[in-house]
Amino acid sequence: MARNTDIPEQTRVSWPIVFRVSISGLQRRFGRAMITLTGVVLAIAFLCYMLVHEAFIRAMILADLDSLNILLQQNDIDIFSGGQMDPMTYLLIGLTLLTCLVGIINAMLMAVTERIKEIGTLKCLGATDQFIVRAYFVESTVQGVCGAAFGLLLGLLVAVLVTVRTYGGYTFRTFPLPAVLVSLVVSLLAGALLSITAAIIPAYMAARKQPIEALRVEE
Amino acid sequence: MVDFHKHLDAAEDAQRDIVIRAIDVKRHYHGSGGVVTKALDGVTLDVFRGEYLSIMGPSGSGKSTLFNMIGGIDSPTEGMVFIDEIDVAQLDSYELAWLRCHKIGYIFQSYNILPVLTAMENVTLPMIFAGNSPTEAREKGMAILETVGLGERAFHRPFELSGGQQQRVAVGRAIANDPVIILADEPTANLDVHTGAEIIELLEKLREERGITIISATHDMKMLDVSSRILWIRDGMVQRLEERKNLNIQIGGLEG
Ligand SMILES: Nc1ncnc2c1ncn2[C@@H]1O[C@H](COP(=O)(O)OP(=O)(O)OP(=O)(O)O)[C@@H](O)[C@H]1O
Ligand SMILES: [Mg+2]
């Protein structure tokens, strides 16, 4: 009776299609996505602000203009330290990113729990574990990268505004373009890494859900 | 007279193609404190290709559990299940996904339409899982939506559809990959009498036109009328299995 040898393996859904399914889901759950996003935006904005601001201060110290040095000292900058951030600041940034990581994981786990029936249904329709992993991975990563991009712009903007308010035109006269670009890239990478790391656990949790959940009638 | 019928049925049965075979299927749940719930306690059943089998039984009798077993959704504690001659117990998760995708269409009591997708996307998703290109899927999806009477509502989202329309989307989705079997666990329980009757009619039409085997759990007496056979289960065991034509009932009479 058994003739299991001729069962083909279920087709693997390609990335572009997974992407489209996930994105349409995100668009239609926009409000929820925005909340998850906000956490990433704020964390990356903070990181970016710190890095860019540091780059500005350094550039101004290196410029070594008398009037600027006075201005710097008036603002409690130790011009002999070269504008380096102290270890406490690094710790603060680290903690912010960690909080953000936990936040995304939490938001995504909630999304998985909320959609347990949906995942069950997808599996009844023939979705493989791999599809579910990919779909949640894409969802979480896209949210993270968008959040990081917004955070980047916000952080840059705030850093420029704050520096201009205190140092006026010096900000642009000593504008450290390469260092600012490096700060932006570092922030973006940190955001991407953060959201990809945060995606792993929820994606696997989602894939482990069983199709039997689809049949459970809630109430 | 009754014996004569039974005899004939047995001879007929031997000729017919079996699409699901359950052999002494048991499903026991081990609860806290060593309590064992015997949701299914030795069910043996052959389902024939192209028939409409209704499963009846009081709440908690094991109907849904039986569905999970014969739909490749849950595995039995003991016993064997063959779906279209495939031994379900031997499949790995990718083969199971293939089986669910190609052989079985599921219809749920609470529709389970994916809320973020349109009617069309809901119907085409199983085709995407089956490896069809989005273009192919959309063409076929439109034809299916017309079949279930939703041609005009193809691009509406579930919240814009009535319960009956959502269940029609679910029927469309169930037939997306031309399954051998449709499993419907109380498909009309959340619908009013009239809308429920329309869904039943639709399922019967699909059975007749496409030869899809329909297995449906129900408390709905109207369902019995279109059934080929009716299975009663009680306390996880088969209580009675009868051809519709051998049942001397009037639908109206049973309802009261
Ligand atoms: N996951 C589970 N854990 C423990 N017991 C379960 C579980 N699922 C079902 N049962 C038990 O198995 C028995 C059969 O349940 P099942 O859902 O199959 O009944 P049913 O006939 O579908 O009932 P209804 O008509 O109310 O849907 C019930 O006694 C139920 O409590
Ligand atoms: Mg049930």
- What is the count of structural domains for chain A? 1
Closest chain A residue by Cα to residue B185: A215
Query: Which ligand 1 atom is nearest residue B57's CA?
Result: 21
Range of the domain at A73: 15-22+30-211
Span from the CA of B59 to the centroid of ligand 1 (angstroms): 8
DSSP state of A3: -
| A218 part of a folded domain | no
| A55 part of a folded domain | yes
Low-confidence spans in chain B with pLDDT less than 70: 1-14, 248-256
pLDDT reading at A76 higher than 70: yes
Question: Which mutation among B28, B29, B183, B238 tests ligand 1's pocket best, with the greatest number of atoms within 8 A of CB?
Answer: B29
Q: Which amino acid is at B228?
A: S
| A168 part of a folded domain | yes
Percent of residues in chain A assigned helix, strand, coil, to nearest 5: 80, 0, 20
The ipTM assigned to this model is 0.88
Touching check for A23 and chain B: CB below 8 Å? no
Give A162's contacts (C-beta < 8 A, 6+ positions apart).
A49, A53
Which protein residue has the closest C-alpha to ligand 1 atom 31? B60
Determine, for residues A7 and B98 on separate chains, whether the beta-carbon distance falls below 8 Å: yes
Which protein residue has the closest C-alpha to ligand 1 atom 11? B39
Mind giving me the DSSP string for chain B?
Answer: -HHHHHHHHHHHHHHSPEEEEEEEEEEEEE-GGG-EEEEEEEEEEEEETT-EEEEE--TTSSHHHHHHHHTTSS--SEEEEEETTEEGGG--HHHHHHHHHHTEEEE-TT----TTS-HHHHHHHHHHHTT--HHHHHHHHHHHHHHTT-GGGTT--GGGS-HHHHHHHHHHHHTTT--SEEEEESTTTTS-HHHHHHHHHHHHHHHHHH--EEEEE-S-HHHHHH-SEEEEEETTEEEEEEEGGG----HHHHH-
| A216 part of a folded domain | no
Q: What percentage of residues in chain A have a pLDDT greater than 90?
A: 29
pLDDT reading at A4 higher than 80: no
Give A116's contacts (C-beta < 8 A, 6+ positions apart).
A209, A213
Q: What domains can you pick out in chain B, each with its CATH number?
A: 49-67+93-255 (3.40.50.300)
Touching check for A126 and chain B: CB below 8 Å? yes
Which protein residue has the closest C-alpha to ligand 1 atom 16? B62
How many other CB atoms are found less than 10 A from the CB of residue B74?
Answer: 18
pLDDT attached to residue A35 = 81
Q: B66 is written with which tokens?
A: 């039986």
Interface size between A and B, measured as CB pairs under 8 A = 109
What Cα–Cα distance (Å) separates residue B96 from each residue in A9, A132, A133, B221, B245? 9, 15, 17, 33, 36
Nearest alpha carbon to residue A138 among A62, A25, A60, A2: A25
- Write the pLDDT tens digit of every residue in A120-174: 999 999 999 999 999 888 888 888 888 999 999 999 999 999 999 988 888 888 8
DSSP state of A218: -
How many other CB atoms are found less than 10 A from the CB of residue A19?
Answer: 15
CB-count exposure of residue A131 (10 Å: 0-12, 13-18, 19+): buried
pLDDT attached to residue A11 = 76
pLDDT attached to residue B234 = 94
Touching check for B190 and chain A: CB below 8 Å? no
| A173 part of a folded domain | yes
Query: Which ligand 1 atom is nearest residue B186's CA?
Result: 27
CB nearest to A126's CB, from B86, B130, B134: B130
DSSP state of A212: G
pLDDT attached to residue A141 = 85
* B180, B49 contact by CB (below 8 A): yes
pLDDT attached to residue A218 = 60
Span from the CA of A217 to the centroid of ligand 2 (angstroms): 9
Question: Which mutation among B35, B54, B63 tests ligand 1's pocket best, with the greatest number of atoms within 8 A of CB?
Answer: B63
pLDDT reading at A19 higher than 90: no
- Write the pLDDT tens digit of every residue in A89-131: 889 989 988 998 898 888 888 888 888 888 999 999 999 999 9
Which protein residue has the closest C-alpha to ligand 1 atom 13? B39
Touching check for A215 and chain B: CB below 8 Å? yes
d(CA A20, nearest CA chain B) in Å: 11
| A179 part of a folded domain | yes
Distance CA A99, CA A102 (A): 5
Distance CA B196, CA A158 (A): 60
d(CA A101, nearest CA chain B) in Å: 26
| A3 part of a folded domain | no
| A176 part of a folded domain | yes
